Structure 1
Amino acid sequence: MRPAAMTETVWAALRALRAGERAILPDPAWTDAARAAFDLYAPLARGAAGEAPFLFAQVGQSLDGRVATVTGDAADVSGREGLRHLHRCRALADAVVIGVRTALTDNPRLTVRLCDGASPARVVIDPRGRLPADARVLAEDGARRLVVQACDIDRPAGVEVVRLPDSAGWIRPEAIGLALARRGLARILVEGGGVTIAGFLEAGLLDRLHVSIAPLIIGAGPTGLRTAPIARLADALRPETFVYGLDTDVVFDCALAPGGNASTSRWPTRQVDAAIAVRRA
């Protein structure tokens, strides 16, 4: 595991890389921990060179794989540095995507508050129009707001509606990614919940997956990735994995196969073995 420590200098370099300054490289004078912080976020800041959108996901969970209690309390799952990590991921994205269940349960703001950087566009996948108009994710604050839906329901003024077909209440992740890319949102963070992330993972769309683990045991409650069980470990997804220590949390940085083809990635892990089963959520 590589201890990682973010500094103002490293974050400024990452933001420059995010802005398109491709020649940005780590400074030889940086400490090992500062270099580790750069290496953790640089793939997100670079994004993709081609026309396809670059999609990455972030899951914050407990030691026993829970993201909330059975009553839905998820406020303190991630530690101090785990929360800062999430906000850095948001700051490096053009858009942050959540499913409507997460929007209804957590009522998140999805803004950048714990690091320097602009808040990304906020996207809610709401096929049947369940999201209320007063949800915080739709609040007008200067950031773009989009709702992906399959129904004919009006949204508050200023909210962009992305109308896509559905099948049994499910909108294909491939269609969502392409629709957002056509609207200029090419670097996309899929933040939650577990069903939504699993949908993009099994569709082979994720280029990167960050699993942030905090040192607490909840005992019961929803899991971070809602994936189906497999019969044999030989069939498990084993992405190339790098491990970083962020003081209060540990981040598993999983690099999926080129093009996000999670279903065929069989790269050996580094530092740990991560078995990820894939299914349609």
Structure 2
Amino acid sequence: MTPPSSAPLDLEAAWQALCQALSTGRDASGHEDGPLRLTAHEWTSDVPVSDDARALLDNLAPLAGHVGRLALAQLGQSLDGRIATESGHSYYINGLESRTHLHRLRALVDAVVVGAGTACEDDPLLTVRHVSGRQPVRVILDPRGRVPASLRLLSEAEAPTLHLIGEQVELVPPASDHVTRLRLPVGTDGFDPAAVLDALAARGLERVLVEGGGITVSRFLEAGVLDRLHLLVAPLLIGSGRPGLAMTPIATLSQARRPIARSFRCGDDTVFDLDLTRP
């Protein structure tokens, strides 16, 4: 038995407990008599919890405690809903705390998905660096096969990369062992989001973060396949620029989606956690 302790659960201990929950189930301590337990809707602790640890658990316990397939998306944007200037400049709209939050999201999923446009423009690594945690599989949606082999996702082996290409694209063997290529059918708007998630689940990648860009997140949202959406909003007004979400226009506000929303402070930014599974 683990002896009782009155020492508060601090931020790092809470984070490690959330990470362990991915492999040990809803008992986030990894032991039957551990102090922290969580489900998709709540968490409980047998010991005191520090304020910053409590904020972390309130924010991320629904993700770590989720059982089964999970499709999550995130967007970092300004107050007026922009993810970049008209020229494409976006570093950095959000503060360090929001970027750390993003790295925590990466560590809590099996795969991180980006579209070909974001891969080419930003050349991201999509790895977990600001916090401790496992590395997810990095997934590129590249229906036309236009992503160059020089990108870091394909050339640097910090984590595995799954390169999804269209059936019409020549299947050239990847230059690096960390890259796997997989063909999928392509429609008029690219890959079917549901088919992408099914293909990932078939490879054991059931917890998926759709990280960007705005067009890719919009397509997954409009397809109705997302369980949650995290909007990281910075106290910044860009004015004109690239919108975060671009979806089919609606005629009346009665057609607008009104998801259940929670909000959390993240440094100077605010995280809006939207539950898209509930009517």
TM-score by length of 1: 0.85
Q: Please point out which of 213, 216, 238 is paired with 2:258.
A: 238
1:10 is matched with which residue?
14
Two-structure CA RMSD over aligned residues (Å): 1.6
After superposition, the C-alpha distances for 1:118-137 in whole angstroms (9 at most, x for unaligned) are: 22110000001100001111
For residues 130-150 of structure 1, the C-alpha deviation after alignment (integer angstroms, 9 at most, x for no partner) is: 000011111332411111111
Pick the aligned partner of 1:190 from 210, 215, 238: 210
Aligned partners of 2:60, 2:191: CA distance in 1, in Å? 29
For the residues of structure 1 that align with 2:189 and 2:146, how far apart are their CA atoms? Answer: 12
1:173-218 alpha-carbon deviations (Å, 9 max, x no partner): 1111011111111110000011111111122111111000111111
- Identify if the C-alpha distance between structure 1 residues 156 and 46 changes in structure 2 by more than 3 Å, giving closer, same or farther: farther
Give the C-alpha shift of residue 110 in structure 1. Answer: 0.6
Counterpart in the other structure of 2:103: 87
Q: Tell me the residue number matched to 2:242.
A: 222
Q: Give the aligned residue type for 1:20.
A: T
- Runs of 5+ in structure 1 lacking a partner? 1-5, 258-264, 267-281
Partner of 1:59: 75
Distance, in Å, in 2 between the alignment partners of 1:221 and 1:209 is 21
Whose Rg is larger? 2
% identical equivalent positions: 45
Deviation of 1:21 after TM superposition, in Å, equals: 3.2
Unpaired runs of 5+ in structure 2? 1-9, 29-36, 38-43
Richer in strand (by share): 2
- For 1:195-210, what aligned pairs fall within 5 Å after superposition? 195-210=215-230
Residues 53-78 of structure 1 show CA distances to partners (whole Å, capped at 9, x for unaligned) of: 31100110111111111111111111
- TM (norm. structure 2) is 0.85
Distance 1:192 1:253 in 2: 16
SS at match of 1:204: coil
Q: Take 1:202 and 1:110, find their aligned partners in 2: how far apart are those partners?
A: 24
SS of aligned partner of 1:171? coil
Cα drift, residue 229 of structure 1: 2.7
Matches within 5 A, 1:1-281: 7-24=11-28, 25=37, 26-27=44-45, 28-49=47-68, 53-150=69-166, 151-154=169-172, 155-158=174-177, 159-168=179-188, 170-257=190-277, 266=279
Q: Distance in 2 between matches of 1:235 and 1:140?
A: 44
> 8 Å contact 1:80–1:248 — kept in the other structure?
no
Letter in 2 for 1:7: L
Q: Distance in 1 between matches of 2:20 and 2:114?
A: 27
1:47 Cα deviation from its structure 2 partner = 3.3
Alpha-carbon distance, 1:33 to partner = 4.3
2:32 is matched with none
Give the AA of the match of 2:180. Answer: E
